[in-house]
Amino acid sequence: MVIRNIDDAVLQALRSRAAAAGRSVEEEARRALASAVGADREAARARLAAVRALLAGHKDRDAADLVREMRDERTRGLSG
C-alpha cells in the first residue's frame, strides 16, 4: 500500500511517535491504522475480558427474567 500526499504535520507527528516508542515509522503507521479501525488486538482482548467479567454472574439467564427483575426493583423503589 502506498499513501500519497500525507500532510507534513501528520508525517512529523508520526515520526516523533515512532522515535519515542523505539519503532519504525512504518510500524507506527500500521499501529495507528489498526487502532483507527478498531483492530488493535490487545485493546480488543482487554475489552472482551472486561465484558466477560461483567457477564460472569449472568450466564444462562433469560432476558425476560432480567426485565422482570428490573421492573420489580423499580417498583419496590417507588413504593418504598
Q: Render 14-74 in DSSP notation, one character per residue.
A: HHHHHHHHT--HHHHHHHHHHHHTT--HHHHHHHHHHHHHHHGGGTT--HHHHHHHHHHHH
pLDDT per position as a tens digit, 2-54: 999 999 999 999 999 999 999 999 999 999 998 888 777 788 889 899 988 88
pTM of the predicted structure, to 2 decimals: 0.49
